[in-house]
Amino acid sequence: MHLRSVCLAVLGLVAPVAAQGVNCVLLGTQHLHTPTYANIWGYVAPNGHEYALLGCSNGTAIVDTTIPTAPIERAYIPGATSQWRELNTYLQYCYVCTEAGGAGIQVIDLTNPDAPVLANTFGTAQFNNCHTITCDTQTGRIYCNGTNNGTAVFDASVNQVNPTFVGYMTPSGQSNYFHDFHTRNGFGYASMIYNGVMRIYDLSVWPPLAVSSTATPNTFTHNAWTNASSTVCVTTDETNGSFVKFFDITNRAAPIGLSQYTTNPVSCPHNAYILGNLCHVSWYTEGYILLDITNPSNPVEVASYDTYPGASGGFNGAWGVYPFQPSGNVYILDRQTGLYIVRPNLTDLAIAHTPLPNTTNEDGPYPVVASVTGSNPIGAVTMNWRAGTSGAFTAVPMTPTATPNQYSANIPGQNAVATVQYYIDAVDSVGSQRSPASGQHEFAVGSVTQVFFDDLETNLGWTHGFTVSTDDWQRGTPQGRSGTSGGVPWADPSSAYSGTNCWANDLGASGFNGSYPNSVANWLQSPSIATTGAQGLKLRYRRWLQLAAGDTARVLVNGTAVFTTAAATNDSSWQLIEHDISAISNSQANVALRFELSTNATNVSGGWAIDDVQLLTVSDAAPPLFYGAGTPGTGNIVPVIGLSAPAALNTTTQIQGSNILANAASFLVMNLAPDNTPIAGITALVQASGAAVLFQQASPAGTAAWPFTVPNNAAFDNIYLFSQVIPLDAGSPGGLLAASQGMRFRICLQ
């Protein structure tokens, strides 16, 4: 059962009854064979007719899908009984393998696909069973994978009905076992399921030469497939709780992990294929999943079709998917219910938006503006926002502006210190789009001063070690390893939060598995960091933390714990973490940060991953707001009012006046409310009733200052005060008083 579809239905974004398909239309089905089905492939006849080739438990079905709403089975080629049956095509021939003993490779002649015939069986002399089969359509070579004698290779470039045996690419044995093999542009990508790696081969020589072996997240590598330019490769691991993972294979000798994705953390992906900027996945109990990999570092699920109504997890449901037909129709083969022909409805909606920056403006509003374009009628554009990093979002319809294709909506003002998160949804007659594709845009309200920052790209002096057993702290690129321990899945990040490096427990590179060991206590410690006398310091960092029950992580500053886990932790993305360390740092010239891990003797998990470590001060001080119009004095000069420093609790600041008539008697008027009343030739901008009026003699330079001490009482926090400087000035229009603008300022914590 597809978890995302159910969640969308609960949220009201799709109808619950139609939860089988999200941005995906069912065109046709066929279920004629029992007890089960296996994999699926496709064929296009010279006249453009399209066919689905179904691996069944005791044969192969050739189904005409030219009219997808009315598929017709044109032939059924019997075969030895097995739950495994894999197919591939070269020219007008379909090659079929099975795990059934002595069955060999069937060659089905599709010259007349409406009346196909079994043309030959070969391979029985070379092996007893075969798990999967690969046709290299660029060379005509056929790779028989997972046989009892190794990977057997045949050449069908000359004789497709009776290919010539070339030899064994690899010998027998689990350490040489290819579960699957994908070829493109002179290289092969072997899924070494028992080794847990994707192994890349140079096929220009015989025997082919291995150029790299790269671990996949759950070390049970099931399939691999590249894009057309052979720059990106996707892999799957056939275990519950596993992922599809994307690699940059520009340098085939050293693939780089880009990202990994799961649609449901208890489920199991099976086969994945890249076509253009889309990745099509048969995901067993979750059905068919379509990912947009325009940015392979951030795959986004854009469509799905759930073929299996039962519980998630395990190996029922969608075994195979075939997305390569010219019509754009996609075949899914479900183990229990047969063939589904679907068509993804993908919108070309595009959202262009410049995220809002941090601000000290508390009044707001914060206008969110986006350009939304697409070829289909746009139904709605919505901005969703919240104050903080958790809780429900408030949906605000975005309305068109005077600029074509532009929409806007406002987020109301927020008192500092605040974090505001938001995202934009757009819906048209075909589908939907989101900005950002995942996560949220975010900005801060308040004044931020950075004292220290380390993105961990180089080592600024961090040290690490252990107090019990083992130190597995490493700095480098995380490999996105994952696994299950005690029935609980865990997954490391596949990339640093920023740049390429982070610190972590076991990054999962070659020779490592990505998880921490049992019964250890180890630590990572920063160099000594100067506080520069800053008060109210906060420690902020990005964290990806995974802990099994009973294991503990701590953060210490100068030996004092500021954070200790209380339960199992399972971050599934990089988290922004902040600790107030002012009680420790306010009296210290230097601080040292320490991250600790302590584990018990039972289960394991991924442990710490740390990136972008900062020390900073965050102030809720907002700049003063000036309002109204002042009244000029002598020389037509308007007095100016200002604030020397934030009016923080337990501090003294000054309200300052300038542009005042030299040596003039000057008054500061201050109250809790503004005004706008003409009086004595000026506009009074502070409410007179109950106002405090303070006197100062202006200096010969025309300045004055009124010291203002804020009590150390939290009850005063967030109180707004309104003020105005009013000097005596006979040169004013009224002949008595001049006046400044009004100034509103807020009492703040720091």
Q: What is the pLDDT of residues 652-704, one digit of tens each?
A: 999 999 999 999 999 999 999 999 999 999 999 999 999 999 999 999 999 99
Domains of the chain, each with CATH number or no CATH: 31-172 (2.130.10.10), 350-445 (2.60.40.10), 451-619 (2.60.120.200), 625-748 (2.20.130.20)
Residue type, 416: A
Give the pLDDT score at 2. 56
**Residue 192 DSSP code:** E
- Average pLDDT score, the chain: 93
Return d(Cα 610, Cα 538) in angstroms, integer.
Answer: 16
For residue 436, whether the previous peptide bond is cis, meaning omega lies within 30 degrees of 0, is yes
pLDDT at 13 > cutoff 50: no
27-59 pLDDT tens trace: 999 999 999 999 999 999 999 999 999 999 999
Starting at the edge strand found earlier in the chain, the sheet holding 399-400 runs: 350-352, 366-373, 406-411, 399-400
Binned at pLDDT 50, 70 and 90, residue 532 comes out as confident
DSSP lists the bridge partners of residue 300 as: 292
Mean pLDDT on 138-156: 98
H or E element, residue 148: none
pTM of the model: 0.73
pLDDT at 5 > cutoff 80: no
Residue type, 308: Y
Mean pLDDT on 602-612: 96
Mean pLDDT on 425-434: 89
Give the pLDDT score at 16. 31
244-293 pLDDT tens trace: 999 999 999 988 888 889 999 899 999 999 999 999 999 999 999 999 99
| Percent of the chain whose predicted confidence (pLDDT) is above 70 | 97
Q: Which of 108-117, 156-165, 506-515, 726-735 comes out lowest in average pLDDT?
A: 506-515
Mean pLDDT on 146-162: 98
Return d(Cα 324, Cα 280) in angstroms, integer.
Answer: 10
pLDDT, greater one: 280 or 483? 280
Mean pLDDT on 564-568: 93
pLDDT at 10 > cutoff 50: no
53-89 pLDDT tens trace: 999 999 999 999 999 999 999 999 999 999 999 999 9
Return d(Cα 43, Cα 62) in angstroms, integer.
Answer: 9
Q: Give CA separation, 478 vs 72, 109, 294, 693, in Å.
A: 49, 48, 22, 63
Are the beta carbons of 689 and 669 closer than 8 angstroms? no
pLDDT at 6 > cutoff 50: no
pLDDT at 14 > cutoff 90: no
Give the pLDDT score at 447. 81
169-228 pLDDT tens trace: 999 999 999 999 999 999 999 999 999 999 999 999 999 999 999 888 888 999 999 999
pLDDT at 4 > cutoff 50: no
Highest mean pLDDT among 8-12, 127-131, 511-515: 127-131
CB atoms closer than 10 angstroms to residue 10: 11
Return d(Cα 624, Cα 653) in angstroms, integer.
Answer: 13
299-334 pLDDT tens trace: 999 999 999 999 999 999 999 999 999 999 999 999
247-261 pLDDT tens trace: 999 999 988 888 889
Give the pLDDT score at 497. 93
CA–chain centroid gap for 750, Å, is 35
H or E element, residue 585: helix 582-585
pLDDT at 354 > cutoff 60: yes
pLDDT at 544 > cutoff 50: yes
Binned at pLDDT 50, 70 and 90, residue 1 comes out as low
Are the beta carbons of 319 and 308 closer than 8 angstroms? no
Give the pLDDT score at 3. 46
